[in-house]
Structure 1
């Protein structure tokens, strides 16, 4: 049976990923968090503690991510305890705080993971594993590998690790949308009119250089990279499909 195509879940807080794993993992799931354990606990606690505004006080500007995080947070913690216990036994959590550690983890993932048995080339009734990676792009941000070259190398390693273990690759970025550094610099130089705050963009739609460079970002009044740029979305689209969590 053909493996499912790698998937990028957009605009999803951590509680949404937890619910996705509970609903979709059939065998074993490995969640690799690109960061420290304290960061995961803080982000998860913050999102699940958010509350949905009362209808009378709600307005059209209510942050969609906050409402989505609240809904999923309430749904996750309302799951029966027996189901949580049963599902947690099959979920492994790993933390990678830097790119070197993360790439090494992916390179050795196949050797440390028991491949599911198959009969006649078809997966057993246990189902397909899930390899979920959280904040892969954000891990590259403070480094010179925040480029098409660096992201492409890491993503190819993740795809290979999932393929070797017959796992479904799921990538989630829980980083909040940010102001485009390039547009911010242009506004500061007066290159384009400023009629309000710059629009926020997804981490997948930021511009990164083609090759690894020493200067990672555009600063106000200067350009750290003046060559060709590309979006992480374009890089990931070579292997992955993009989807909202409620569509799968």
Structure 2
């Protein structure tokens, strides 16, 4: 049975990958960016965690165990560097690994995960309740059609951690109701003006899950 669409809270992209690997489910991870950008973020995240003197243990992604390698083969990556390419990809998407309906019914539900969907909107005229609603609804419809669990996650910029345009802080960002509305950046780096918090927009379809285990 497909679960309610979920928004996960993972600080770094390595945390999200670890979460997905632990499910042991076939997963399609859509990265809202280029392959190069993803590898830069992944490298920076691993470097940050491996050199953190306060970390009790090194991240599991830094160890090459047989189980990790086996599970990593269950994750397929796709890269959508623009809002248009993301929506087009979702429009034609089918379930991963080419499983038949009979096979899918016998297996754990597959997972459709989307990384940095909100951040992808941030530099466009569709960074609004209207634009985000359109993309979120499309993602939910796609996952439902494919019979997959849907997970969204906004990870911080591992190269520039203070950046206000990345990470879970985006869910609290106020956006205007309609596309193309004027938005002004405030002194603290956030976006000012009247509008709705993105979290309120997303709650129409998603549950927020701050349990990363």
**Same fold per TM (> 0.5)?**
yes
The equivalent position to 2:61 in structure 1, one of 76, 81, 98, is 76
Q: Which runs of 5+ in 1 are unaligned?
A: 55-66, 181-199
Report what 1:117 is aligned to.
101
**Deviation for aligned residue 1:7:** 0.9
CA contact (8 A) 1:33 1:133 kept: yes
Report what 2:71 is aligned to.
87
Task: Encode CA deviations 1:169-198: one digit per residue, 9 max, x unaligned.
Answer: 110101356559xxxxxxxxxxxxxxxxxx
Report what 1:204 is aligned to.
171
CA contact (8 A) 2:9 2:168 kept: no
Task: Give the 3 Å change call, closer, same or farther, for CA 22–202 of structure 1 in structure 2.
Answer: same
Helix, strand or coil for the counterpart of 2:94?
helix
Task: Give the 3 Å change call, closer, same or farther, for CA 140–19 of structure 1 in structure 2.
Answer: same
Q: Which runs of 5+ in 2 are unaligned?
A: none
Report what 1:173 is aligned to.
154
Task: Encode CA deviations 1:201-245: one digit per residue, 9 max, x unaligned.
Answer: 811001000000154x30469xx985x401111111111111124
CA contact (8 A) 1:5 1:240 kept: yes
Report what 1:232 is aligned to.
198
How many Å separate the matches in 1 of 2:80 and 2:196?
26
How many Å separate the matches in 2 of 1:118 and 1:40?
34
Report what 1:45 is aligned to.
43
How many Å separate the matches in 1 of 2:15 and 2:120?
20
**Deviation for aligned residue 1:39:** 1.0
Aligned residues: 203
TM-score normalized by structure 2? 0.83
- In the TM superposition, structure 1's runs of 4+ consecutive aligned residues that sit over 6 Å from their partners are none
Report what 1:21 is aligned to.
20
How many Å separate the matches in 2 of 1:113 and 1:148?
34
